[in-house]
Chain A
Amino acid sequence: MTSHSRITRRSILKAGAAGAVLGVPGLSLAQAKSIKVGLLHPVSGALAYSGGQSRLGGMLAIDEINASGGIKSMGGAKLEALLGDSQSRPEVGVSEVERMQQEGVAAYVGCFASGIALPATQAAAKYNTPFLIDVGVSDALVSRGLKNVFRLAPGNGKCVDDAFAGLAEVNKTAGGLAKTAVIVHEDSEFGTSTAKLLSAKLSGIGLEVKEVLKHATPTRDFTNLVLRIKAIKPDIVIMSNYQNEYVLIARTIYQQKVDLAGMFSVLGGGFNYKLVKEQPEVAQYMMDFNHWYNPKNPKALDMRKRVEAKDNLFTFEVYCTYNSVKLFADALENAKSADKEKVIAALEVSTWADHFMPYGPTKFVNGQNQGGRAALLQASRTDIDVVWPNEFAAVKPVFPRPKFS
């Protein structure tokens, strides 16, 4: 190596560092054998917890894949995480997409929130970079005709359909005792669209919607709302909201001793191990239709142990992102290359089954995994169990729940 080329390389390094921020073309160092995965999540701002959990799941997947030899069909190429913080804001999400593009990202995994994922996936579409949606449920995400967008988990529409099927079956098993329902939802895109879908079809399974109660995020007090529910005396309540309001409503219902046959939620924000840990009496008997792992799959249980050993909760954000990264790795294996077109083509025909979700092998139509589905979960004072569908359930649902008196 002559001194001339050493100097040249060093000055390229310096210029590269300076140019890296604003992207002077052609000066990023090529990293041999490392495939960059962009993990884009809101790790600060209002959605920080979920973003952090998502990122955790992504990192676990990348570490695991690398530890077991990387992408074998590409000579053991390792995955490299590019971390991005969307700060719970769409503009920042887009900026991060562009920044990662600059750094040569091969695929994005993100964004937890649909409102951020919508513009972020559009930005990525310009480069045709594969974008794997881990949690965002808006159906608009996979109906814009963008070839680069793939979603392993179910969208809103599918979750609601699963909720019907699950509700219908649980109700039937209990002798059809539930006839009336009240829907509670938060007033942004997530809650509104879910509630709309729910109220349209509940009568189809024999449930009359007595009232739809809308609330803001954040809301400080739910006493009036709960007293209204108490006055209506529905058999069941179905909620769709974010964590803090979910917990406040649940607590208020418990405190006001509102007797219900069941308290359900669809993609309930506050239904998680933390609720069980912090408020076991409130959590007991609550039910949620949500993303969940297959409790009969030993890999899932093993991962849960590993995550909890590090003092983290095994929430759905963790394994949804984990599995999205692994889906990408599987596509790499099949495509034998990180070339975007090839990866997208591989994803389109993917039949990956090594996730531990209750999905079966993947099959993508317009970017949506057809097998993605929600499960019905019920909390006990110590844990959360899958109670439906039967092939994944370990425990029978308690429905109706005991009365407060």
Chain B
Amino acid sequence: MDPTILAAAAINGLLLGGMYTLVASGLTLIYGVLHIINFAHGSMLMLAMFGVFYLLTKFGIDPYLSMLVMVPAMYGLGYAIYKGVIGRLSSGRDENILLITLGLSILIENIALMLFKGDSRTISVSYSDTMIELGPTLVPLPKLISFAVAMLLCAALALFIQRTDTGRAIRAVAKERVGARLVGIDVDRIFAISYGIGLATLGAAACLLMPIFYVSPTIGHVFVLVAFTVVVLGGMGSFLGAVVGGMIVGLTESFGGLFLGESLGQIGISLIFILILLLRPSGLFGARR
């Protein structure tokens, strides 16, 4: 195989991985802290992407600029959803939370369908199709930007978790819920904050994905399984894991597509998922549970 093609596939895989890291970073935080599989993650991403779409088409706000709006807005939404719905209705049982997030995702997707209709929408900004030469291949500028921001975002989140008081509280709750409560941490508030941050990252992800992608009420499904794979591979609760996991999944998908075709090649992602779970379920960087 021609080395330029391999190089191109590798670069493409890394950039793809950046997109996945973006979506997975919130999921890994939510899982790491609340120990819930957030089925609503995909539909929240969808909501955020519609937000970016309408901010551009109705108010002319550039998608990258609208991060200033989307990130806090999604944080607020996440906090509210946790406090108002998940925290209140789950009576504390894990499988119930799972089902509630599932019910929520059905609700949200179909409300979006009613409001926004079913068609897929794309946006076109001046830099949508600007291509940058990177070695043997041309890459779209938005993909490079989203990769860079994904790395920055994970670094920022990791710093936040390590250095701030809230971050320490989050780590405490993630590690030992009862103990955290005993030392006076308001566990419920930490849950809400974590869910909020998780959704805030989706706000950022949406801004970065819209120039590359499209939005429709069912777009969540397109990313959810991959995001879970990245989180499990990287280790639940680890941002470094989200980065490394994203890269690995992106590269696997890219090379899988190259060698097996874009249909069978998708099997690579699921196989990685299975292998990691069989061999090292806590993931590459996750804490052993």
Chain A residues engaging chain B, CB cutoff 8 angstroms: 43-52, 187, 213-216, 218-225, 227-228, 231, 243-244, 247-248, 251, 254-257, 274, 278-279, 281-282
Contacts and interface: CB of A to CB of B under 8 A. Distances in A.
B120 A49 contact: yes
B96 interface: no
Contacts of B226: 220
B110 A44 contact: yes
B262 A222 contact: yes
Main secondary structure of the interface of A (DSSP, over half): helix
Contacts of A223: 8, 12, 137, 254
A216 B263 contact: yes
Nearest to A215: B262
- In the complex, which range does the number of interface residues on chain B fall in? 35 or more
A254 B226 CA distance: 27
Given A48-B113, A227-B8, A254-B129, A220 B16 contact: yes
A227 B119 contact: no
19 contacts: A45-B218, A48-B113, A49-B118, A187-B263, A213-B261, A215-B261, A215-B263, A218-B221, A218-B222, A219-B266, A223-B8, A224-B12, A224-B258, A243-B120, A244-B216, A248-B214, A251-B129, A255-B140, A279-B124
B9 A224 contact: yes
A191 to B, nearest CB: 10
Contacts of A248: 213-214
B72 interface: no
A280 B135 CA distance: 29
A246 to B, nearest CB: 10
B223 A46 contact: no
B216 to A, nearest CB: 7
A278 B123 contact: yes
A389 B200 CA distance: 53
Interface of B: 2, 5, 8-9, 12, 16, 19, 110, 113, 117-124, 129, 131, 137-138, 140, 213-214, 216-218, 221-223, 226, 253-254, 257-258, 261-264, 266
Contacts, number: 102
B131 A255 contact: yes
A141 B5 CA distance: 43
B151 to A, nearest CB: 19
B137 A227 contact: yes
A219 B262 contact: yes
Contact of B5 (A221, A227, A244): A227
A257 B138 contact: yes
The 8 residue pairs across chains A and B that have the minimum distance between CB atoms: A48-B118, A215-B262, A49-B119, A49-B118, A187-B263, A214-B263, A223-B12, A218-B222
Contacts of B266: 216, 219
B131 A225 contact: no
Given A214-B261, A225-B257, 11 more contacts: A46-B218, A216-B266, A218-B222, A224-B254, A224-B257, A227-B8, A227-B12, A227-B137, A231-B2, A255-B140, A257-B138
A256 B223 CA distance: 24
A147 to B, nearest CB: 33
Contacts of A255: 129, 131, 138, 140
